[in-house]
C-alpha cells in the first residue's frame, strides 16, 4: 500500500528567514507506540497506509514523504518574563501542511526529530516520557472540547537519549492549525524586519482570521479566542505550566504540553512546573499571564500601522477588552459547572464561595465539581449555608454533568504509564488513552481506577519541561 499525502505548504512560501529548510534526522530502529486513526480520518488520510512501513518511516523521521517541505521554524520569546532574542524549533521539524475534508489547513510536525540550527546545546531528541505525556494530555483536552494541538502518532526510535541518565527515545507527530507563536512575530519586530512582519501578518490573517480585514481586527479576534481558551483551562483545573510567549499560539490553541497538569486538590496558587520557582504560571495567574502575552503580541504588531502612536492607543483599548471577555467566559463556564441554567455576573459570589470552601477543604477539583452533577454537594467541602444558596438557584444536573468530566489525565496515572512504557509495555498508555478520551462516559470497568485521586505515596508534585 502506497502512502500518499497531499501537502500544500503555505508556510514554506513565506520569507525564508523565518525558517531553515532541513530534513529530520533518521533513527536507528523505529517501532510503534500509537497511531491516531480518528485524527487521520479528520485529515483526510488513509490510516491503514499510515500504519505501513512507509508511515513508520515518516513518523520516525527516516523518510520524507513526497510533497513535504521539512523545515525548522524560527521565533523568539519572553521566557518567564525575560526576553530571549532567538529561539526556534530546537527539536521539531514541520513536515508540511494538509487541508482536511473540513477545509481546515493543519500542520504536521515531528517532535524529537533531531538537531536543528536552533537546538543550541540540545540534542534535538525526545525521550518517551514527554511523548507519552503530550499524547495523553492533548487528546484528553480535545475530548474535553478545548482548542488544542493533537497527537497523530508516537513511535520509539530504538536509540537512547541522555538526560540525567540514559532513556528510551521517541518521536511525537503533532498536528496543529499552525505553529505560529507570539514569539514568531516578536523576532521580526525585534529585528526591524517590516517586510517579513507584514508577510507573516497577512499569512496569519488568511489562515486563522479570514474574517479580519485588518491587523487591529486580527488582534481583537485573538483577544477573544484567548479569553475563552483560558476560561476553559481554569474551568478544568488545567495548569499549562510554561506560558512563555513562544508557547502562545496565535491560532488560539493550547500548545506545548511541557510541565502541565490537571490539579488534584484545589488551590489557586498551585504550581507543578519544576522551573517555576516563583509561581509566575500558577493556576490562578494564568488569566493575567495570557493578557501579558497578548500585550506582547500587540506590541509586535505596532510597526505595521501607519500611525504608530494612534495604534498604541487603539491596541490598548482592544487589549483592555480581555478582562470583560474573560470574566464573561469564566462566569459561563463555572456557572455551567454548578448546573446554573442562566449563569450571570451576580453568580460570582456563589462560584467563588465554593472555590474558597474547596481550597480550605483541599477538595479534589474534578471530583468535587462532579459531585454537583450527582447531587452530592456535601462532597465539595461546601458549608450547609452554601448548599442552601446553591439549591435555591435551581441547578440543572444535566447541565452540570455536561460541564464536569468524570475523568481527566491525572499526573500519577501518566507517570505510571510512562514507567511502563520505559520498560517496553505500552498497554497502560493505551488503556489510559481509551479512558481519558471519553472524559464524560468512561468505561465503567476502568473508571474507578482513573477517577481516584492519588494516594499519598502516588502524589506527583513536580513536572518537567519536555526535553
Annotated catalytic residues are: 246
Residue 299 DSSP SS3 = helix
Nearest alpha-carbon partner for 91 in 58, 126, 131, 130: 126
Find out whether 227 and 244 touch, Cβ atoms under 8 Å: no
Q: Among 173, 174, 175, which residue's Cα sits nearest to residue 56? A: 173
- CA-closest candidate to residue 65, choices 93, 41, 42: 93
Listed in sequence order, the residues at least 6 apart from 92 whose beta carbon sits closer than 8 Å to its beta carbon are 72, 73, 109, 110, 111, 112, 113, 116, 174, 179
Instruction: Tell me which residue of 49, 71, 57, 51 sits closest to 5, measured CA to CA.
Output: 49
Compute CA distances 392 → 190, 297, 347, 386, whole Å. 55, 44, 12, 10
What is residue 291's three-state secondary structure? helix
**Exposed e or buried b per residue across 65-99, where buried means at least 16 C-beta atoms within 10 angstroms of its C-beta:** beebbbbbbbbbbbbeeeebeebbbbbbbbbbbbe
What is the Cα 170 distance to its own chain's centre? 19
Tell me how crowded residue 316 is: count the other CB atoms within 10 A of its CB. Answer: 11
Cell of 414: 501518566
**DSSP secondary structure letters along 354-367:** HHHHHHHHT-BHHH
**Measured between alpha carbons, how far is 135 from 152 in angstroms, rounded to an integer?**
8
Q: How far is CA 107 from CA 24, 89, 99, 297, 404, in A?
A: 15, 14, 9, 22, 31
Q: Nearest 5°: phi and psi at 314?
A: -65, -45
d(CA 182, CA 200): 11
Closest CA to 439 of 142, 35, 238: 142
Among residues 34, 26, 27, the alpha carbon closest in space to that of 158 is found at: 27
- Element at 388 (helix H, strand E): helix 384-392
Amino acid at each position: 500500500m502506497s502512502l500518499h499525502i497531499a501537502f500544500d505548504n503555505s508556510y514554506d512560501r513565506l520569507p525564508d528567514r523565518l525558517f531553515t529548510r532541513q530534513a529530520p534526522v533518521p533513527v536507528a530502529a523505529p517501532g510503534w507506540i500509537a497511531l491516531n486513526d480518528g485524527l487521520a480520518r479528520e485529515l483526510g488520510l488513509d490510516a491503514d497506509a499510515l500504519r505501513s512501513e512507509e508511515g513508520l518511516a515518516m513518523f520516525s523521521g527516516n523518510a520524507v514523504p513526497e510533497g513535504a517541505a521539512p523545515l525548522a521554524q524560527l521565533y523568539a520569546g519572553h521566557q518567564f518574563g525575560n526576553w530571549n532574542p532567538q529561539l526556534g524549533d530546537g527539536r521539531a521539524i514541520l513536515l508540511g501542511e494538509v487541508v482536511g475534508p473540513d477545509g481546515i489547513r493543519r500542520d504536521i510536525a515531528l517532535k524529537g526529530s533531531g538537531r536543528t540550527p536552533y537546538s543550541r546545546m540540545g540534542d534535538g531528541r525526545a525521550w518517551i516520557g514527554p511523548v507519552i505525556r503530550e499524547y495523553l494530555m492533548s487528546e484528553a483536552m480535545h475530548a474535553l472540547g478545548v482548542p488544542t494541538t493533537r497527537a497523530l502518532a508516537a513511535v520509539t526510535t530504538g536509540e537512547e537519549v541522555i538526560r540525567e541518565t540514559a532513556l528510551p527515545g521517541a518521536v511525537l507527530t503533532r498536528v496543529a492549525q499552525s505553529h505560529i507563536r507570539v514569539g514568531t512575530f516578536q523576532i521580526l519586530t525585534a529585528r526591524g524586519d517590516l517586510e517579513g512582519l507584514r508577510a507573516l501578518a497577512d499569512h496569519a490573517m488568511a489562515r486563522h482570521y479570514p474574517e479580519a480585514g485588518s491587523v487591529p481586527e486580527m488582534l481583537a479576534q485573538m483577544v477573544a479566542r484567548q479569553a475563552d481558551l483560558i476560561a476553559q483551562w481554569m474551568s478544568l483545573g488545567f495548569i499549562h505550566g510554561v506560558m512563555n510567549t513562544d508557547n502562545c499560539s496565535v491560532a488560539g490553541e493550547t500548545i506545548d504540553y511541557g510541565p502541565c497538569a490537571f490539579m488534584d486538590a484545589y488551590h489557586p496558587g498551585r504550581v507543578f512546573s519544576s522551573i517555576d520557582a516563583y509561581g509566575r504560571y500558577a493556576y490562578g495567574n494564568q488569566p493575567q499571564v495570557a493578557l501579558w502575552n497578548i500585550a506582547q503580541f500587540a506590541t509586535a504588531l505596532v510597526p505595521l500601522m501607519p500611525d504608530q502612536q494612534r495604534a498604541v492607543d487603539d491596541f490598548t483599548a482592544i487589549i483592555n477588552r480581555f478582562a470583560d471577555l474573560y470574566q464573561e467566559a469564566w462566569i459561563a463556564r463555572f456557572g455551567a459547572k454548578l448546573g446554573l441554567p442562566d449563569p450571570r455576573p451576580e453568580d460570582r459570589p456563589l462560584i467563588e464561595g465554593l472555590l474558597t470552601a474547596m481550597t480550605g477543604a483541599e477538595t479534589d477539583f474534578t471530583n468535587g465539581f462532579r459531585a454537583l452533577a450527582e447531587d452530592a454537594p456535601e462532597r465539595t467541602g461546601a458549608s450547609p449555608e452554601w448548599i442552601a444558596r446553591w439549591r435555591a438557584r435551581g441547578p440543572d444536573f444535566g447541565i452540570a454533568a455536561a460541564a464536569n468530566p468524570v475523568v481527566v489525565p491525572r499526573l500519577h496515572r501518566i507517570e505510571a504509564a510512562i514507567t511502563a512504557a520505559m520498560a517496553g509495555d505500552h498497554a497502560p498508555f493505551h488503556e489510559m488513552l481509551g479512558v481519558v478520551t471519553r472524559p464524560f462516559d468512561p468505561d465503567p470497568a476502568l473508571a474507578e481506577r482513573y477517577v481516584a485521586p492519588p494516594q499519598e505515596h502516588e502524589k506527583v508534585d513536580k513536572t518537567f519541561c519536555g526535553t
